[in-house]
Chains A and B, each alone.
Chain A
């Protein structure tokens, strides 16, 4: 129990530090860069404005106050779950981001399915035929997968499957068919580390004594691998996934832009283009929160899977 409390408090501390630093740095950068959000707002309305109008708006948004006061006010709002309002649409930032969350989550889930369908078979093949051509196939897929730009892969997939073969929709989100191409792109982009990890794990497990015992009993190698070794190797895979939620959220951004997927990534890029600062700030907070939450989940999962190890650690 004590252990759980300490894990949770460490992660909460990490979250606070991360949010404070990142939001302050971005806040500072916003203030020192030449781009003027007030001008940007006024440009949207497209009417003739005077400097007096500009001043008035500046006061309204509190942009005339010293930077520390502005930051303090903003972070006080965050503590009360108020991320401010968009400069462009005047809608609450939290609502805007949370509205986009389901689409991103759905795409990530699709990517996860694709990831499993790609990396598990390739990892098994690599371990089973170690040093022979299927192993080279699996290793080269991993190396090429790590080298290919995901947006380019997506473009190629769109070109072949949507434009040439006319099999799948080009972009947007509607039917299940819309999920196929973005999910595959995301899955391939994430697959390389998992293929390698699974292959190495399986090879290591296959050399352990309990596997040898099973082989001595005359069980076939393939059977051992799938029913015994694989189960033990899935735990590090799950851990890995929990820890790579961050890179998933990063990777999904490009794919959302590419496929016009109405998720959080698309929102942040649009907001960045429009210099909609409150949305950028809010997005950093939400992403930080999601990442720390998933790390916490991994910590706790570890604790459940492996209570002895943790007790040992504690007693040392």
Chain B
């Protein structure tokens, strides 16, 4: 109990971490309680009340179709953050096992695959995502597929590098020579070793992916109207920014706060786990 307490106070003492945790608690609250709290149906069109200013009835005003902006942003939180986390979760689930196995087996096969992966990694992931999303057709599901297709490679690459540097160490060799199955060695010794790196990467990556999803939605390749994904809201309301700037301000602010939360958490966790700099940032 004592160690848990000292550990958690050490975490909180890092200002980035503290800021990140506060934002994360706030965002989680919005995500899980938001549905119950929003005053209006985020999809309900009310042409009599279009482009209203902020008031006690509509806290952030209404958009060009009379929909309540506050309700849409709160509803969008679940969507934007949830999809970002889902995409990274899937990328981790695909990339980490492949990286572990490839690094563990090593040899020519591993070298060959990594050459290929390096080749793909030098290609800008945003453009690849545009191409894939464009070919599959614009929709949120396809965006998530595109992102998973692009991102898992990064995890495979990093995990494989970590395994390579670790697998000649004594404790792994002992496990290998004591007739444990490769799967057991990987699960008991190598996976826990790469976990901190994966957590830090994933925390920062969720933010990156949210930026990616919203950018793709903004250019029209992601969420389609009337879905209140934040990037799509910016696309949707673009014609009305001049008459009603709040249509532009709040969705963007929501994206920024969310990504900031991810970056702060990632930074805080990085110094908490004492992950050295110089590892390739991907």
Q: A interface vs B, CB < 8 Å?
A: 13-15, 17-18, 21-22, 26, 29-30, 33-35, 143-144, 146-152, 155-156, 159, 163, 193, 200, 246-247, 249-251, 253-254, 257, 268-269, 271-273, 275, 277, 280, 283-284, 287-288, 291-292, 295
Chain A: interface secondary structure?
A: helix
Distance in Å from the Cβ of B239 to the closest Cβ of chain A? 12
B256 close to A280 (CB less than 8 A): no
CA distance A240 to B234 in the complex (A): 32
Q: Tell me which residues across on chain A come within 8 A of B120, comparing CB atoms.
A: 18, 21-22
26 A-B pairs (CB sep. < 8 Å): A14-B118, A17-B116, A21-B120, A33-B136, A34-B137, A35-B135, A143-B260, A146-B263, A147-B207, A147-B260, A147-B263, A148-B252, A149-B214, A149-B256, A149-B259, A150-B215, A152-B234, A152-B255, A155-B234, A155-B252, A156-B252, A253-B126, A253-B127, A284-B131, A287-B124, A287-B127
Q: Does B128 contact A (CB under 8 A)?
A: yes
Chain A residues contacting B211 (CB-CB under 8 Å) are 149
User: Is B123 at the interface (CB under 8 A from chain A)?
Assistant: yes
Q: A18-B122, A155-B248 given as contacts; is B137 within 8 A of A35 (CB)?
A: yes
Cα-based distance from A291 to B251 in the complex (angstroms): 33
Bound CA span A53–B135, Å = 24
Closest 3 CB pairs of A and B: A272-B134, A250-B126, A152-B252
- Of the residues A251, A257, A292, contact of B219 by C-beta under 8 Å: A257
B222 to chain A, nearest CB (A): 12
CB-based contact A291/B124 at 8 Å = yes
Given the known interface contacts A254-B215, A254-B219, the answer about A280 and B135 at a Cβ–Cβ threshold of 8 Å is yes
In the complex, the answer to whether A193 meets B281 with C-beta atoms within 8 Å is yes
Complex Cα spacing A275 to B132, Å: 11
Interface size class of B (residues with CB under 8 A): 35 or more
**Which residues of B sit under 8 angstroms from A21, Cβ to Cβ?**
116, 119-120
Q: How far is the CA of A209 from the CA of B275 in the complex (A)?
A: 27
Q: Contact at B260–A22, with CB atoms within 8 Å?
A: no
Does chain A have a CB within 8 A of B264?
A: yes
Contact mask for chain B residues 147-168; partner A; CB cutoff 8 A; 1 contact, 0 none: 0000000000000000000000
Query: CB distance A30 to B135 under 8 Å?
Result: yes
Chain A residues near B123 (CB-CB < 8 A): 18, 22, 246, 284, 287-288, 291
Chain B residues within 8 Å of A33, by CB: 135-137
In Å, the complex CA distance between A149 and B212 comes to 9
Cα of A146 to Cα of B261 in the assembled complex, Å: 11
Within the assembled complex, what's the spacing in Å between the Cα atoms of A284 and B264?
34
Interfacial residues of chain B within 124-147, with CB under 8 A of chain A in the complex: 124-128, 130-138
Using A17-B116, A247-B124, A269-B134 as known contacts, list a sample of 16 further A-B pairs with CB atoms less than 8 Å apart, ordered by residue number in A. Answer: A14-B118, A14-B122, A15-B119, A29-B135, A33-B137, A144-B256, A149-B256, A151-B219, A155-B234, A156-B249, A246-B123, A247-B126, A253-B127, A268-B127, A272-B133, A280-B134
**Max chain A Cβ within 10 angstroms of own Cβ: one of B115, B126, B127, B234:** B127
Distance in Å: Cβ of B132 to nearest Cβ of chain A: 7
Interface string of B89-122 (1 = CB under 8 A from A): 0000000000000000000000000011011101
What's the least CB distance linking A283 to chain B, in Å? 7
Which of A35, A147, A251, A292 has most chain B Cβ within 10 Å?
A147
CA distance A62 to B133 in the complex (A): 24
**Could you say which residues of chain A place their CB within 8 Å of the CB of B75?**
none
Interchain nearest-CB distance for B32 vs A (Å)? 23
- By beta carbon, the residue of chain A nearest B135 is A29
Residues of A within 8 A of B196 (CB): none
CB distance from A97 to the nearest CB of B (A): 13
The smallest beta-carbon distance between B20 and chain A, in angstroms, is 11
Contact B248–A159 (Cβ < 8 Å): yes
Tell yes or no: B82 within 8 A of A by CB. Answer: no
Contacts of B118 in A (CB 8 A): 14
Cα of A106 to Cα of B263 in the assembled complex, Å: 31
A220 to B204 CA separation, bound complex (whole angstroms): 39
Question: Who on chain A is nearest to B146 by CB?
Answer: A29
Answer yes or no: B241 CB below 8 A from chain A CBs. Answer: yes
B70, CB-defined interface residue at 8 Å: no
Residues of A within 8 A of B130 (CB): 253, 268-269, 272
Find chain A residues with CB under 8 A from B234 CB.
151-152, 155
Min distance, Cβ B108 to any Cβ of chain A, angstroms: 16
Give Cα distance in the complex from A14 to B115, angstroms: 8
Given A14-B119, A17-B115, A148-B256, verify A250-B136 contact (CB < 8 Å): no
Residues of B within 8 A of A257 (CB): 218-219
Give the contacts of B165-212 with A (CB-CB under 8 A): 207, 211
